[in-house]
Amino acid sequence: MATKTSVDRSPGEISDGLALKSNGVKALSAASIRNDPKILALIRRVLPEVETWREHLTVSIGRATELTGLKDTQIRYFEELYRQDCDAAAHPGITRSYSLDDLRRLAVFAELLKEGYRPAQATEIVRLFASVIDQGAAYTIADALQREGDAITDGFLLSRLASQVIFAAQRELRERLPDARICAMFLVDQHIDAFLHQLAAGHTPCSGAQFARRNGQRTSADCTDDRTLASAEELERIGRYLAAHPQDVLVAVDRAAVMGETPDSNESVWNDDESSIVLFYSREPWSVPVPDDAQFCCYCPPSAPDATVVFMVQSATPGILPPHLTVATPARDHLLDWMVRMCRAIFPEFRQATRTHNYRYRSDGYRLAHTRETLNRLMHRVRDLIFGDDADVSVACLLLPDDLYKPAYLSILAHAGYPEEGARRTRLSLFGGVEGLSGRAFNEREPFLTRDALHDVRVFGAQDERCQVALAVPLLSHWDTHPFGVLYLASQRPASPLLSETAFVALVFGNILSELLGRWWLTRLRRKHDDLLHTYVAEYVRWFNGMDMHGPEFQEGLRQIEQIWERIAAMFRNASNARAVIERLSRQYITLAVLDIDHSRHYHHRGDEPFLLAAQRHIHQAIAQILPEVRGYWFKNDHTLLVLDGCTLEEAIVLIRRIASRVQMVPVAIAGRTERATITISAALKSLSYQELYDLSHHDRDVLRASLTTIIDTIYEQTRGCERTLKVFQNGAWEKV
């Protein structure tokens, strides 16, 4: 910002109470300053912008000039004038590190200069307004709520995005190093070798924002360094530096790895991976612990060469981890690249939204083990509040099903009143008529209250608690779904205050617990789905490629046929006897077959993956079993094109029947579903001699592709509306065989 030429202001232009000091500088009384609307408006305009500088904490004079638009001589002159009255013992120019308070005063000083005040006048105003300026910008509750909402939303997205980056990278690493476990991730807004160059030069690596500002001033030597690759030793040095100084960078850590937790065998009721990725951001040096077996590798997003992701990886096999992660699966590389770019896009907004906090984190999810102690305390409070003096002979517990899709029993997650070992082993069956009050509440999706539990047949088969009154409340998201769990309350005193009004309170409280446990179930289901998506990344991309009638998979099939046509055309070009070539090619065949899943739209089998993808995979496996050298091309969502080179129509019929038989004989396995579905297929076939294929077009490839597309579309039409049918084109017509 350029400073306007200073002009003298009349006393009336500054305030009604303006007076002249002996040095000729206009002075203001504190009372007149507070009542000057123009000065107050100027300060209120400047301070909110200064608040955005919180991330800088303390800065040098060079950075202060960048932020305020003042020259360094102007800053020094301001300091000299400001200190004359504030601190007579201070020496001019002694301050060379500027805090946020200093920056506020300098920003107001700069704005006053722009408004035409002379430096001495502006300094006097800043001094008299010091109490107002040092308070910073005034924010309302609405401002705070808006920022908190932004922080929650951005933090939620960032934690999920960071976890996807870690999961995808870990999948790639485990294909080379099976025991690899990523325990931390650092997203740096510069190329890793530029970072290394700064470390080698003995400089403290700058933050992402600082590097972005300096990047335009880098030398050609720096750019040359960027094109080199860091060694494993150099990368370890960088990784350990980042772990020790994770300031102003996006950090994601595996909570269990950082806290040194080991899996608990008692948690086997819910035996999937419950580890959680925690997003961590701080402007203070909260170091990340580095395990003894830690190694480091980095990933450079193809579309963002000025960014690097550094992974801290635990592995019992030292020296095998590649320093630079190259992703072999194109779809996974695209996913990683996109997720990293999203993190970079959202992180500055998250950092801005959390600027009033020195520490902030958002979790990707949480383990039940992390909250068991908290929930146990909660159950004790619930028991004390509800049963009062009878709490010692009463129980309160939280039960969870083993599964939401097909639950078989309930287990105690947290409790107050049971022996710990007994609570850990409790399994309450949900079937067979012995499910107890909690099981009935779970199965019926209704709360149950009994004041005569010893003789109530609904409590038959429950754990022998000798209780007189009992209440079971299902934790529901909807009355028509399986509950997330059950809140169970019981007492051995018949006169216990478990009244209907108290039961209603428990019902409302159970609704709150439903949200708490619902978050865990949702995280668990999402991770299960994530694992499936990352496992079958190539198949999902292929499935999308085959959704259109003439999508990328269909075009790959055309290219295979075109390659056969090119081979035939080369034979004609190199032939000395064209008639002999024609005769030979007339006896060689290519058969095109289209397979269709019968009544695919009528299947409603539910699982963790789309049914059609599982069905297409099933057909692909059958083809690979019968024709290991032949690839099926997916198109129109539930169709497969086979190019059977060298097969006559009769030979192709035998092969397709074998494939159809295997498809029907072996049920389809759908991830996340115990039951298996049986499907059938129909097929249509048409054979072309090599000579007929060549005659489609001798020279024009576009004509050839258009003709082949028409032929395959015609074959496809013959599969519509059929069931377990095989049609072939022979003798000039379509016939069932």
Cβ atoms of 236 and 319 within 8 Å: the answer is no
What is the CATH classification number for the domain harbouring 647? 3.30.70.270
Choose among 425, 417, 421: nearest CA to 386. 417
What is the CATH classification number for the domain harbouring 433? 3.30.450.40
Whether 163 and 275 share a structural domain: yes
529 Rama class: left (phi>0) / alpha (psi -120 to 50) / beta: alpha
Q: Out of 61-65, 471-475, 571-575, give the one with best mean pLDDT.
A: 471-475
308 strand-pairing partners: 188
Residues in CB range of 111: below 8 A, 6 or more apart? 42, 45, 46
Q: What is the pLDDT of residues 160-178, one digit of tens each?
A: 888 889 989 998 898 888 8
Does residue 369 carry a pLDDT above 70? no
Whether 651 and 567 share a structural domain: yes
Whether 31 and 176 share a structural domain: no
Instruction: Report if residue 532 sits inside a domain.
Output: no
Residue 104, H or E segment: helix 100-114
Per-residue 3-state assignment (H helix, E strand, C coil) for 404-428: CCCCCEEEEEEEECCCHHHHHHCCE
Residues in the chain: 737
Instruction: Report if residue 168 sits inside a domain.
Output: yes
Residues in CB range of 686: below 8 A, 6 or more apart? 591, 592, 711, 714, 715, 728, 729
Instruction: Report if residue 65 sits inside a domain.
Output: yes
Does residue 56 carry a pLDDT above 60? no
Cβ atoms of 730 and 649 within 8 Å: the answer is yes
- Of 363, 397, 431, the position where a domain reaches its end is 363
Choose among 241, 143, 145: nearest CA to 192. 241
Task: Indicate the pTM of the whole model.
Answer: 0.69
Instruction: Report if residue 2 sits inside a domain.
Output: no
Whether 90 and 158 share a structural domain: no
Structure tokens at 344: 């970079």
Pairing assessment for the beta strands 726-730 and 681-689 based on DSSP bridges: parallel
Instruction: Report if residue 213 sits inside a domain.
Output: no
**For residues 305 and 293, what is the distance between their CA atoms, to the nearest angstrom?**
29
CA angle, 300 as apex, 296 and 301 as ends, to 5°?
Answer: 140
Confidence of residue 5 (pLDDT cuts 50, 70, 90): very low
CA distances in angstroms from 235 to 195, 317, 473, 489, listed in the order given = 10, 17, 55, 56
Confidence of residue 85 (pLDDT cuts 50, 70, 90): very low
What is the per-residue pLDDT for 620? 94
**For residues 449 and 500, what is the distance between their CA atoms, to the nearest angstrom?**
8
Cβ atoms of 532 and 608 within 8 Å: the answer is yes
Whether 518 and 379 share a structural domain: yes
Q: Out of 238-247, 439-448, 641-650, 669-678, give the one with best mean pLDDT.
A: 641-650
Look up tokens 């149950």; give the residue: 448
Does residue 268 carry a pLDDT above 70? no
Regarding predicted confidence, which is higher, 405 or 116?
116
Look up tokens 């309160």; give the residue: 396
What is the per-residue pLDDT for 55? 52
Domain span at 356: 150-208+227-258+270-363
Confidence of residue 629 (pLDDT cuts 50, 70, 90): very high
Confidence of residue 112 (pLDDT cuts 50, 70, 90): very high
Does residue 144 carry a pLDDT above 90? no
Does residue 17 carry a pLDDT above 50? no
- Of 523, 557, 574, the position where a domain reaches its end is 523
**For residues 242 and 236, what is the distance between their CA atoms, to the nearest angstrom?**
10
Output b/e per residue, 532-553; b: 16+ Cβ within 10 A: bbbebbebbbbbebbeeeebbb
Does residue 736 carry a pLDDT above 60? yes
Q: What is the pLDDT of residues 29-50, one digit of tens each?
A: 555 655 678 888 888 888 877 7
Does residue 608 carry a pLDDT above 80? no
Whether 700 and 587 share a structural domain: yes
Instruction: Report if residue 435 sits inside a domain.
Output: yes
Look up tokens 């530096």; give the residue: 241
**For residues 487 and 124, what is the distance between their CA atoms, to the nearest angstrom?**
67
Number of domains within the chain: 4
Q: Burial, 97: exposed, middle or buried (Cβ in 10 Å; 0-12, 13-18, 19+)? A: exposed
Give mean pLDDT, residues 318-329: 86
What is the separation, in whole angstroms, between the first and last Cα of the chain?
Answer: 84
Regarding predicted confidence, which is higher, 127 or 15?
127
Instruction: Report if residue 678 sits inside a domain.
Output: yes
Amino acid identity of residue 131, one-letter, is S
Whether 516 and 555 share a structural domain: no
Regarding predicted confidence, which is higher, 39 or 473?
473
Share of the chain above pLDDT 90, in %: 30
- Of 310, 343, 363, the position where a domain reaches its end is 363
Give mean pLDDT, residues 251-277: 65
Share of the chain above pLDDT 70, in %: 79
Whether 374 and 459 share a structural domain: yes
Confidence of residue 218 (pLDDT cuts 50, 70, 90): very low
DSSP 8-state code for residue 405: S
Whether 429 and 573 share a structural domain: no
What is the per-residue pLDDT for 208? 40
What is the CATH classification number for the domain harbouring 53? 1.10.1660.10
What is the per-residue pLDDT for 461? 44
Give mean pLDDT, residues 494-513: 86
What is the per-residue pLDDT for 462? 46
What is the per-residue pLDDT for 264? 53
Does residue 357 carry a pLDDT above 80? no
CA angle, 413 as apex, 472 and 502 as ends, to 5°?
Answer: 30
**For residues 339 and 303, what is the distance between their CA atoms, to the nearest angstrom?**
11
Q: What is the pLDDT of residues 425-467, one digit of tens each?
A: 888 888 876 677 888 899 989 998 888 877 776 665 444 567 8
Give mean pLDDT, residues 581-602: 89
What is the per-residue pLDDT for 352? 74
Give mean pLDDT, residues 348-373: 67
Instruction: Report if residue 529 sits inside a domain.
Output: no
Whether 489 and 550 share a structural domain: no
What integer best gives the mean pLDDT of the chain?
A: 80
Whether 577 and 692 share a structural domain: yes
Confidence of residue 52 (pLDDT cuts 50, 70, 90): low
Confidence of residue 349 (pLDDT cuts 50, 70, 90): confident
Other Cβ atoms less than 10 A from the Cβ of 227: the count is 9
Structure tokens at 563: 């390659």
Whether 353 and 496 share a structural domain: no
- Least confident residue range of 26-40, 186-200, 240-254: 26-40
What is the per-residue pLDDT for 297? 92
Confidence of residue 217 (pLDDT cuts 50, 70, 90): very low
Confidence of residue 19 (pLDDT cuts 50, 70, 90): very low
Q: What is the pLDDT of residues 667-725, one digit of tens each?
A: 998 877 767 789 999 999 999 999 999 999 988 999 999 999 999 999 999 998 888 99
